Structure 1
Amino acid sequence: MSESQPEHPTEPTDPATPLVLLHGVGQAPMAWEDVVVRLYGSRRLLTPWVPGLRPTETRPVPVEEASARLAQELELEGLTRLDLCAQNWGAMVATRLAADRPDLVRRLVLVGGQVRTPKLVSGVQAGLLRLMPASRLADAGVSKERLTAALDVARRADLTDALPRVQAPTLVLVGGRDRAGQLGARALADGIAGARLRVVEGAGPALNEESPAELEQLLREFLDQP
């Protein structure tokens, strides 16, 4: 598979809408592996790099640019209608994509997303980054310098104007132990018409890695609705 192609594509066994899974800052597409294994065969699955976070790129990019580039990449994959599930910074990119391209996004699942990153969350992220072993970052193909730059871009993002334009049915998820993320999750749910908020008890901020079984069940329930 060439570097420009999304990771882990699977061929559908039925006409279910393809599902695109977007990782967060500090993660790589492989962060979705446990979820992909559980959903394998149910629909076409794609886990692309979020634009600006690929290790070979020289800089992270603003949310608007990341959204536009992602839409172009997905259309080059032949997708004209898709479901989106996204984590962390990926959730902010997904929200902007759903707002800008309602023709492309059928359903939207946001995990640990924010409308704009509060100072409290920024402080928590900075503290976690200082404590994070370099070896763990190396597994995701990033350095502390690159991750710091990506978090700085995320701190400047603001989706306030995008939320009223999201037309896709939306499920907002947040871990019960993710106290820093719960205010952001509620702001997303309040700002998107008809959005539902679900707190996953006992889970932390990275549901795709920490609670893949629970996330798989929630995805099936939400995405398989008529």
Structure 2
Amino acid sequence: MKTLSVNGCDMAYLDLGHGKPLVCVHGSLNDFRAWTPVLKPLSTGRRMIVPSLRHYFPGTCSGTEATFTMAQHVEDVIAFIEALEVGAVDLCGHSRGGHLAFRLALKRPDLVDRLVLAEPGGALDDTLMPTDGVDLGAGAGTRAHVAQSAEKIAAGDLEGGLRVFIEGINGPGAWDRLPAADRQMREDNATTLLAQVNEGRLPFSRAEAEAVTRPTLFIGGADTPGMLPVVLRALAAHVPGAKTAILADAGHSMFRQQPRAFCEAVLGFLGTSA
């Protein structure tokens, strides 16, 4: 593990392999450990750089930090990439990290060569909301599960809060199916949900999707329920030239559930064989 000081924060990160840099940004309740199943294949023939965002493990979070915002995390990753002094990187973001990567690519396209968005998290504004009668439900991708989870965690029910969040993303029973190491990572980052409730994440708009200039790949899990697949399809339909890969027998944690298929899709898009 290395650290890099950016914007007054020491960001911990993993740095593996050699070659063109691929920066991977984790999602909610995750940190650099999330990418463990794909570290070897994605760092073969290229350099894979995996940071933990501000206030995530091994950092700390009380849940009240004013610096826990989406805008701050975008600025942190911008400063992180600049501090690496490697020029433009390939950028991959998952879930909340996918939202971050989308915002970064809009704000600083000069820092991004190719963009991979693995089920980016967030809401759609009216310009992207589907009108074909699709049932949006109350599951993955809504903000309700974040507030419900934070309420339980604030009241001292750590496992109950994490269960609500994980099952709000992946459906009933998802928490019980998590391996021990994945549960531990969520527990280590549980208090970030308290801050995430008021992180200032803005909805995606059609104008923003159409303004993305970098070659973009969207990756989703065929079994992901709720709103996340709706968000993916809406963005992919309007990002110019976007490609889409949907992985069979996978949900929102697709790179942990189907690491080989995930790496084949990513490396194929980036121009490196798996």
TM-score class, shorter: 0.7 to 0.9
Distance in structure 1 (CA, Å) of the matches to 2:13 and 2:186: 14
* CA separation of 1:9 and 1:143: change in aligned 2, threshold 3 A: closer
* CA separation of 1:10 and 1:145: change in aligned 2, threshold 3 A: closer
Alpha-carbon contact 2:68-2:195 (below 8 Å) kept: no
CA-CA distance at 1:208 after TM superposition: 2.3
Matches within 5 A, 1:193-212: 193-212=240-259
| Counterpart residue number, 1:7 | 13
The Cα offsets for residues 70-90 of structure 1, whole Å up to 9 and x where unpaired, read as: 110111111311001111000
Alpha-carbon contact 2:218-2:245 (below 8 Å) kept: yes
Alpha-carbon contact 1:62-1:157 (below 8 Å) kept: no
Aligned to 2:204, which of 159, 162, 184?
159
Q: Does 1:182 align with 2:229?
A: yes
Alpha-carbon contact 1:114-1:188 (below 8 Å) kept: no
Alpha-carbon contact 2:56-2:189 (below 8 Å) kept: no
Aligned to 2:111, which of 104, 112, 119?
104
Matches within 5 A, 1:110-149: 110-116=117-123, 120-121=139-140, 122=142, 123=144, 126=149, 127-129=164-166, 132=175, 137-140=183-186, 142-149=188-195
CA-based RMSD: 2.8
Alpha-carbon contact 2:29-2:190 (below 8 Å) kept: no
Instruction: Normalising by structure 2, report the TM-score.
Output: 0.70
Distance in structure 1 (CA, Å) of the matches to 2:145 and 2:61: 26
The Cα offsets for residues 165-213 of structure 1, whole Å up to 9 and x where unpaired, read as: 2111001111001022210110120231111222111101012222211
CA-CA distance at 1:115 after TM superposition: 4.8
Which is further off, 121-130 or 89-98? Answer: 121-130
The Cα offsets for residues 79-119 of structure 1, whole Å up to 9 and x where unpaired, read as: 31100111100000000000111111010111111452675
* CA separation of 1:159 and 1:63: change in aligned 2, threshold 3 A: farther
Instruction: Normalising by structure 1, report the TM-score.
Output: 0.84
* CA separation of 1:66 and 1:5: change in aligned 2, threshold 3 A: closer
SS in 2 for 1:162: helix
Aligned to 2:60, which of 56, 70, 75?
56
Paired residues in the alignment total 221
Larger Rg over CA atoms: 2
SS in 2 for 1:108: strand
Q: Does 1:87 align with 2:94?
A: yes
* CA separation of 1:73 and 1:155: change in aligned 2, threshold 3 A: closer
Amino acid across the alignment from 2:92: C
Alpha-carbon contact 2:221-2:246 (below 8 Å) kept: yes
Alpha-carbon contact 1:107-1:223 (below 8 Å) kept: yes
Distance in structure 2 (CA, Å) of the matches to 1:143 and 1:6: 14
Give unpaired runs (5+ residues) of structure 1: none
User: Percent identity, aligned pairs only?
Assistant: 23
Distance in structure 1 (CA, Å) of the matches to 2:262 and 2:203: 26
Aligned to 1:74, which of 70, 77, 81?
81
Distance in structure 2 (CA, Å) of the matches to 1:208 and 1:109: 13
